[in-house]
Structure 1
Amino acid sequence: MQVPFSVEARSVSLQEARSLYFGRGELPEALLDQNVLRSWERCRQAGLDPARIECGEPNVRVVAEARERNRTLMSHAQPVLEHLFEQIRNSHSMVILADARGMVLQSYGDADFLSRADQVSLHPGASWHEFERGTNAIGTALAERGAVNVFGSEHFFEGNAFLTCSASPIQDAQGRLMGVLDISSDFRAFQRHSLGLVKMSSRIIEKRLFESEFAHQGLLSFHTRPDHVGSLCEALLAISADGDLVGADQAALELLGLRREDLPRRHYSMLFDVPLGTLIDRARRDPSSLIAISGRNGERFYARLRGNFASMPTGSSSLVDTKGERVTRPAKAEPVMTPAMAHASMTLKSLSTGDERLQAAIDKGTRILGRDIPILIQGESGAGKEMFAKAFHNSGPRALGPFVALNCAAIPETLIESELFGYSGGAFTGARKEGAIGKIQQAHGGTLFLDEVGDMPLSLQARLLRVLQERCVTPLGTNKSIPVDITLVCATHRRLKEEVARGGFREDLYYRLNGLCINLPSLRERSDIDRLIDKLLREEAGPDRKVEVSHKVMQAFLSYRWPGNIRQLNNVIRVAIALLDDDEDVIETWHLPDDVFEEIGEITPAACTASAMMRPGSAPIMTDARNAAPAASAAATNFGRLEEIERDMIQRTLEAENGNISSAARRLGISRNTLYRKLGRF
């Protein structure tokens, strides 16, 4: 067989490199790839002998144990491994899957080469870790955490010099090494495309692992090039129902300039300009279409969302035309919880704003982090129970696990059981044929948050108690029990002790849930409202805009009773910021929603005309185009009707302000919403 010149020349240069390194102790940097040179140095420091010869018979028991230990990797890699071998069949080669320790789990190869590979124990059950087999593609790929070629005499052990190997590591969805994929052959049959094949195949396995790990989340595929979305080059983000980033593959981290440890502190809205609801709407209408989105640093991406949208909010604030361009439209109402408050950067420490009762609750929660103690959070509706639960989850060792929430009062009684426990295919009429995983199973490895648990039907309370005692869940329509590992956090606005006495809640379940009882104060009872307002202003306005409330509004906020608690305060601030003009950065009373504006006493039927006649700090209203108060008095004389007075006053004020709604509303001392409503009535 005629040996290609390039292979022969490379073999000669490697012999020179070995002579320099092993004979003279010099570093042949010009003759060796840096990956190989670093590996040689590690092997020498470990005291390995390059003349050592390794051989041995496979241990069936060891192989079986290793395969069982790596069952997830095996299940996703097996089809890829078989397909890869079909691509290289009859090339005197073999394909190998090894685990994160370098142990060979599976191999396929041509018979003539397998017999030679057996001579150096290149078979299942053998470890090819660098410190056991010297420089080799499997062990060196693990050590370098990257794809490598090891050709002929680049192998540290002389007995392995007949091999040429190309290997690429495999990472799981969390970026941890799971194993290595390798193509090995006789060095004289070296193929330049082998490294590309293993890199592509390992990427397929990683993608399968990622999609399996986050099968119950939304998966965002994106890239700077539209033709790369849907290919192996695409980047993948896993997004929870509330927009938290729960996973990212390496391509996504690189495109977004993130580190993996940054993920718990990031929310979808911090990365892209198109609202998540827009992507969800688009995916439901046309799952295969792409949408153009921009990153926060101006990068342009093309994206497609797929996966579980059942619990995700909808409501787009943009449409996409046939060219994939975004067209703005009026935004629909969004949940009152801001993304900044909902995403994973929220921790118990971040909730602290100075109130003593809240701080006591935070201190209690902090002390039991990582302990198997359930929490029962009590407080009025809107007091921040789910916010506290999410912060507790993000502060503990389960922060990277799922946070799964279920509102027991928001789901019909007939559906709570299937939502909580899941069901098998065909379990009941109308069920999906493939079945569904319940909230308890979805929360495996993380936190299950049951909101308004006091509203759970008695019939389900017994089943929930059994799950908590046995740590297993049995979906509807099956007798199979599935082990679950969850931390349980419950919340209710009811007094469960009273419900137990009344017979509306099981006493044994109450004591099971009530490991630590935390009572959250209502907003009107808190001493830190001003600091909480400042915090919400920063989160809502964003880092590039400084917004504050006037002294008058702050005093009104401090004296207001806030029946909707934090949820209402947050909504009021969102509306007020939205009503600010571009040149405004101070929230005044006329920026508040009408209901709050009226409740805090800024508008009464008797005061309406007076507030229009003189806005605090403004000049008197004159009869010419600059003011309207005397004209209003004349209207009162001529018509004698309050509605006509009001209409004439508004018309003249608008004329004086050249039709500017915002300026007219400020001059009249009413909100823009109120002015729009009055204009519509007229």
Structure 2
Amino acid sequence: MIDQTISHDPHALRLFEARRKFFDQGYGDEGDERDHPDCKLPHAVLRSWQRCLESGLDYRADGRGDPEGRSELAAARERSERLLRNASGVIEHVFDQIRASGSMVILADDHGMILHSLGDPEFFTRAQRVALQPGSLWSESMRGTNAIGTTLMEAGPVEVIGAEHFLDRNSILTCSAAPVFDPEGKLLGVFDISADYRNNQRHTLGLARLAAQLIEKHLFEVEFSTDILVAFHLRPEGVGGLQEGVLAVSAEGRILGANLAARALFAESNGLVGLDFNALFKPSFGHFVDRGSRPPFLQTIETRHGERLYARLRSAPSLRSNPPARGTSSAAADRMAFCDARHEQRVTLKCLATGDPSLQTALDRASRIMGKDIPLLIQGESGVGKELFARAFHYSGPRQDGPFVALNCAAIPENLIESELFGYVGGAFTGARREGSIGKIQQAHGGTLFLDEIGDMPLNMQARLLRVLQERCVTPVGAQRQVPVDISLVCATHRVLRDAMRAGSFREDLYYRINGLTVTLPALRERSDIRSIVHKLIAAEASDGVQVTISEPVMDFFERYPWPGNVRQLQNVIRLAVALLDEGETEIQSCHLPEDLFSADQMGETKSGQEPAFLVEASGRSLDEIKCEAIAMVMNEFGGNVSAAARRLGISRNTLYRKIGRMN
């Protein structure tokens, strides 16, 4: 029996007849499609139906399947972090364009698992009945012909309308999807727009393809953000568009990467990478860079085959950064860097590089997104320097001349954070200033907004912040109109936001909006560059012209101390030690350090003004011997309680067990 909704829809009737002939009479190859004009199925759909039949899938099957579960979804999102990071803004932008159309915007990984979705509430409820939600697997082998799974099989854009879905139960959907490839041409996932099949729009597939191209553009620019980019097109108006070819080129002129359009123009799939720039173009790379650095920036360039292209040079952020002034010594540069940090002036990411590999990884990753519309999330314990890192990120990028505005979400009472963040008009509430107040978001216009401890932001404020980030407009408390804002967003937290999401205290949609790139700053006890940090802090705190040094036993102690307060604690210790130096003294000894550094609740008792025993006796002994004695002292203090001793030493129980095992 034909559904009443189908009986009034000629297209649905033709599909119904096509299904009957396919499943009852067994035809469905491309030749049959030409022989039967009443069967107007796309070739990709016919090929998919045939695959489904050959795999033994029953078109009458439920095919529902349950979501894979939170752990599987979390693992999939972890694997696809790069895709999610670069697609989040595109998902929100596309959904804004089709809001209230009864549609969903979906991102799936290369296995067909839905990673993220946004949808109109009414359709979202219906879609859940067919498991169109995060955690559900929409591979072709599990759910038959569908836009996500079939796009993965075809490696190209696919539209599946109504009864073109292999499974009967999915015929309520119309889905348009396009594949997303990484800069090396590997299939990363699928961008999909789904709706009620009665709401099918002609241009939806084009919108999905456009979104996929935007994501691929972001992926390419982030991957090669520290390299020189050369954009080109056959027409001048095509340079800067989504169809432009882009090459990533090293400073020596070697091609490091090529986007899909560039490979297509040169009829190369993977053969461009590794070639010299001069192997493709007639002018030398140096000549091209020289011309492209002066107006007019758009220039013509001829290929080795005689084809004329229009090209534009895009310098990498690292090439635009200011080099150190000539004649400035390394020590003086270190001093300036830490003075700037202490007085919250223009410290840069380069200033923070002190040799620790884990920190250098964070610096390198952050430098790659400078100048891009990608939010930065900084994680780490209290005192590791998250705000300093945020300032360095701001002053290293193209917004360095704009404002840097910081707000600690944990330090402001909940009833005041709204007015602090969004501002208010005069008379908006009792106690408001008559002239009103501009909020932190507006203050950061043209620059960077730094939200510290964002994990402590109240839920209702999270919803308002998400709207601001999506619409790029802010509405002050009591105001009737929105104010456009242009900000770069940097957030920081010591919390594990994934745990907060599971606990319901942090919004999932906000998490994926602020989690463009996540960097984790190591705790000071985990860093290998403490010696370098100490020297730089001493140089910053010492008086002009005074060369302050530090005794080797104190330095050894610094390298072994757990530093529960991290860099902030070390900076305070150095500041006090320099202040306690007598006139004529230039070396920091243990007597210049704060007494509580050696108190019973830290590393063993000492008398005021005396050097701790394990420092006095350190000379001539190995570091392992000193470590063993320190562990033995703490273990003795806590009567052999490993958990208590590990907490006091600032290490895990497993680490302490391993160290004790080596002592025996």
TM range (shorter): 0.3 to 0.5
Normalising by structure 2, we get a TM-score of 0.48
Higher RCO structure, 1 or 2 (CA under 8 Å, sep 6+): 2
